[in-house]
Amino acid sequence: MGRLEAALGTISDALVITSSEGRVLWCNASYARLVARAAPGLLGESIFDQLPRDCDSAPLLNPAQVKAGGDQGGHTTKVLQRHRLRALQIEWRPVCTERRRPLIFCFRDVSALLSYEQLRVEAEQIERRRQQTENLNRALELERLALATKVMECPVTGLPNRRGLQVSLSAALRTQRENGGRITILFCDLNGFKEINDLHGHQIGDELLIEIGRRLQRSLRFGDILARLGGDEFVILTMGVFDEADAFQLAMRLMDAVGQTWSVEDHTIRPSMSIGITISDDPEISIDELIRRADLAMYEAKGKSDRHIAFYQPSIDRKVRQNIQMRHQLEDAILHEAMFLAYQPIVDLHDQTLLGMEALLRLGERSAPIATPTEFIPVAERTALILPLGRWVIGEALKRLRQLRGAGSNVSMAINVSPLQLRESGLSDFFLTQVEHAGVDPSWTAIEVTESILIEQPDLAACELSRLREAGVKVHLDDFGTGYSSMSWLARLPIDTIKVDRSFVADFLENDRKAVVLEAMIRLSRDLGLGLIAEGIETAEQHAGLLSLGCEQGQGFLFGRPEPLIDSSAATV
């Protein structure tokens, strides 16, 4: 080792070994002469503090320059004197085989090999390469920023997308941790946007989304963030809301702005939306949890009959868990056909002769149903499980009708059809195919639909219903009086019978106004050539009162509760 060190000491090149941080571990005599100090005193010091300055009084090397070389190391040429040319060629390499990666430096005097002009040309070449590298890095950075902007921006509206919202939420949570305050999220969902796309096309749908974005943006305050998550979902982030009353006022302002009539290409649309709101003063809450709460509140708002605005409450989580459990029960019922139909009689009010039956779905076993229709139907509608359920109901009810008719009964069969089924093209084809397979006459059947689908989407409904009516299937307008209740619509809707909702029948004997409206319905249906069935008749007094008003058909507990049919002979009253 001593001979190796003696040999290295005779080399004219200045050699240095440093730690990865640049502290001198060993040097030869040439390096000691370069820095004009005794070798023992150099050990442990930073090499960057020991080296002389160049002719411009700049450091020969700096830590950032060495670090930038990475595993490949680097090299440079520096001029120490101009008037009497003295230049050093400097090279460095890390020792990659060792864990702490020491550095080896070599300083070689190249004064006799180069002229000042050569050094100037070389310096210019190095500078050009540096500028090219900087320009390339700048271009790559701009491209990266453009890509990042594209990744965080909705291509339709130009608003921040989900990633952009997450970045803003992360910054808001940092601000909240440092300064306190509250974060408020308003989750906005356009009502009926799928139908707008279906009726007017995706181009109109995209233009509407752009317009909605503009309307929402104009209604916000400085510092509020508006993002589009996708589809018809917009989210607003604000730290300027202090309580629920303030948030409610903001939501109302947004709904008013969105609800203005919008016209494009001869189409007039009056958009509306549902808004879910969550307010949090917890800086440790996660971004996903904030969005989840607002999303849940939005679905709660969709179920409201008045203003579609709801605040997140812990009870919503319980309802979600119940809905998830109900969805699983529905899926199991469909998979294992663990369901049955109950039938409620429809009678002639004069002599209580059985005219028909309404088929009603029940889950579970006949002896132990697992849920009521008011519990499982809304979940089935939201999850689209109503589609396979509805198909099963149609098939089963028609098979039962064939059995009843085969046993000599003259009853008809009324089958409920959900708005979602009617929106799906092909309902009429499926129904008539099932009628043919069951071997029944279409005129023995009726489908019951609600007002909403007929009035909100009359063209879509009319296409399917007209084909069914042409084949002989009757159409009943169910729960009349609970929705739009515009009697002027009755003459235009493709229906045969209206079914008056039980809410009118329940207290018309005590409520003179309801009695007047009920009598008007009965008279109008007769004038229009429509049938009328009163629902929810439970007492003999109601029965007699309806007869006195001229009502001829009805159903209710007075004549029979919905029950499964054990055999075909049960179809009598």
**Domain limits, the chain:** 2-114, 162-312, 343-363+386-570
E strand residue ranges, 195-293: 225-230, 233-238, 262-264, 267-269, 273-280
Strands 474-480 and 497-500: parallel
Rama region for 38: left / alpha / beta (φ>0; ψ in -120 to 50; rest) = beta
3-state helix, strand, coil in the chain (%, to 5): 50, 25, 30
Separation of alpha carbons 501 and 218, rounded Å: 43
Domain 2-114: which topology? Beta-Lactamase (3.30.450)
Separation of alpha carbons 334 and 338, rounded Å: 7
Domain 343-363+386-570: which topology? TIM Barrel (3.20.20)
Instruction: Write down the residue that tokens 């023992």 correspond to.
Output: 40
Structure confidence at residue 3 (pLDDT)? 67
Question: Measured in whole angstroms, how far is the alpha carbon of residue 172 from the centre of its chain?
Answer: 21
Contacts (Cβ under 8 Å, ≥6 apart) of 478: 416, 448, 449, 450, 499
Amino acid letter at 455?
I
Structure confidence at residue 148 (pLDDT)? 47
Q: Would you write out the chain's pLDDT as a tens digit for each of its 573 residues?
A: 566 667 676 788 899 999 888 999 888 888 998 999 988 889 989 999 999 988 888 888 888 888 888 888 888 888 887 767 788 888 998 887 656 678 888 888 877 666 556 666 666 666 677 677 677 766 665 555 455 445 567 778 888 888 888 888 888 898 888 888 889 999 999 988 887 877 778 888 888 888 999 999 999 888 888 998 888 899 999 987 778 899 999 999 999 999 898 887 777 888 889 999 999 989 899 999 999 999 999 988 887 767 789 999 988 888 888 888 888 999 999 998 899 999 999 999 999 999 999 999 999 887 777 888 888 998 898 888 999 999 999 999 999 999 999 999 999 999 999 888 887 778 899 999 999 999 999 999 999 998 777 666 667 778 888 899 999 999 999 888 765 555 666 777 788 999 998 988 999 999 999 899 899 999 988 998 999 999 999 999 999 999 999 999 999 999 999 999 876 544 544
Separation of alpha carbons 533 and 522, rounded Å: 9
Separation of alpha carbons 358 and 314, rounded Å: 39
Separation of alpha carbons 205 and 201, rounded Å: 6
Structure confidence at residue 573 (pLDDT)? 41
Q: Is the pTM of this model over 0.75?
A: no
CA–CA distance from 237 to each of 18, 143, 218, 282, 317 (Å)?
Answer: 53, 28, 15, 15, 22
Whether the CA torsion 360, 361, 367, 370 is positive or negative: it is negative
Torsion of CA 398, 402, 408, 410, to 10 degrees: 30
Cβ-based neighbour number of residue 297 at 10 Å: 23
Compute the residue count for the chain. Answer: 573
- 270-288 pLDDT tens trace: 888 999 999 998 989 999 9
Asked whether the domain spanning 343-363+386-570 has the same topology as the one spanning 2-114, the reply is no
Separation of alpha carbons 401 and 386, rounded Å: 22
Structure confidence at residue 497 (pLDDT)? 94
DSSP at 53: B
Domain 162-312: which topology? Alpha-Beta Plaits (3.30.70)
